[in-house]
């Protein structure tokens, strides 16, 4: 198996050294070069033709987002963004993920110890090497205007590539969409900013989930990253609950935890969707939802950045139907119209 050839781009010599040292811990990764700014990186990309690029978010001469835009237009290459865990760094990274970066990792510092950084960096570079680069000329589906909800609950799970997938899916939802809960694998400092970004660009009200948040039509809740799992509870009125417990499938929040809770509380009055992502998180939970009578969907391989989670769910018999991301909104809303909350 050929090693994954990586180019490290960061304006800090210290960070370039740290990233290089972290990546060299994995024998399947070869750091073939480094660059201190986009101008230097442009020449290195042409000369070295790397399999993956790690890219600093904030650099001199040209921002990481501007440079990423050029990479994706002129020489598409899988990119992992390396971000400072600040508000500005988070906002820029989210823009980069929308433009086509495969994933992001927070620089070591407050809330991100070096050993955690190294482990996540290696994992995300390995994932990026297998990722499908996305087409940027896909026409977004129109907003569904004639949706008539009847109290159904929608649960969505996603990981690598999920930022763009969720923007596409939720972008077609009307303001009166079904109550929706989402677990997206994302660093803790990113989920609130991501929810705010979705709220600005989509018709429904989108926010980070909080304890006791009522699940009512037009409300979309994103699981907070890091310390808790998002669950659904209640009988006559469903609501969000945050549970501080161990990692599940290596994740917290976990898609399986969310889907399991939906299967138990909403059952046949729910719809489940599993989107692009690495690994198997969500497969068992989506199967529990389907066995409880829910309608279930998976994003198809052609439109996934990483066809891991949907594939695992399909192989377990958890996915009732696969579809491209641009068609899922219409299918999901149709399914939600046929589901009703049993009081």
Question: Which residues are catalytically annotated?
Answer: 159, 185, 281
Query: What's the CA angle centered on 196, arms 241 and 323, to 5 degrees?
Result: 80
Reading the block at residue 265, the tokens are 């509380």
Q: Is residue 270 within 8 Å of residue 152, measured between CB atoms?
A: yes
């Amino acid at each position: 198996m050929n090693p994954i050839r990586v180019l490290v781009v960061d304006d800090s010599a210290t960070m370039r050294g740290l990233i290089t040292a972290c990546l060299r811990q994995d024998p399947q990764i070869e750091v073939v070069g480094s660059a201190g700014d986009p101008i230097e990186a442009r020449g290195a990309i042409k000369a070295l033709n790397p399999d993956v690029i790690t890219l600093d978010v904030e650099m001199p001469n040209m921002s990481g987002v501007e440079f990423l835009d050029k990479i994706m237009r002129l020489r598409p290459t899988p990119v992992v963004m390396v971000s400072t865990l600040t508000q500005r760094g988070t906002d820029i990274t989210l823009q980069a993920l929308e433009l086509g970066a495969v994933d992001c990792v927070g620089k070591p510092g407050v809330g991100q110890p070096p050993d955690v950084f190294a482990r996540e960096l290696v994992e995300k570079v390995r994932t990026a090497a297998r990722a499908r680069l996305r087409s940027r000329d896909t026409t977004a589906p129109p907003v569904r205007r004639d949706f008539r909800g009847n109290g159904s609950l929608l649960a969505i799970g996603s990981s690598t590539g999920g930022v763009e997938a969720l923007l596409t899916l939720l972008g077609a939802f009307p303001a009166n969409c079904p109550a929706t809960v989402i677990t997206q694998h994302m660093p803790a400092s990113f989920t609130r900013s991501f929810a705010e970004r979705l709220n600005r660009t989509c018709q429904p009200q989108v926010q980070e989930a909080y304890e006791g948040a009522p699940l009512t039509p037009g409300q979309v809740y994103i699981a907070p990253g890091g310390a808790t799992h998002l669950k659904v509870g209640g009988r006559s009125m469903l609501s969000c609950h945050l549970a501080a417990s161990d990692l599940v499938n290596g994740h917290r929040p976990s898609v399986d935890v969310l889907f399991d809770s939906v299967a138990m509380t909403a059952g046949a009055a729910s719809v489940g969707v599993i989107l692009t992502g690495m690994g198997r998180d969500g497969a068992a939970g989506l199967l529990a939802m389907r066995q409880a009578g829910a309608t279930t969907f998976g994003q198809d391989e052609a439109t996934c950045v990483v066809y891991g989670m949907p594939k695992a769910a399909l192989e377990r018999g958890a996915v009732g139907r696969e579809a491209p991301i641009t068609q899922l909104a219409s299918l999901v809303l149709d399914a939600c119209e046929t589901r009703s909350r049993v009081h």
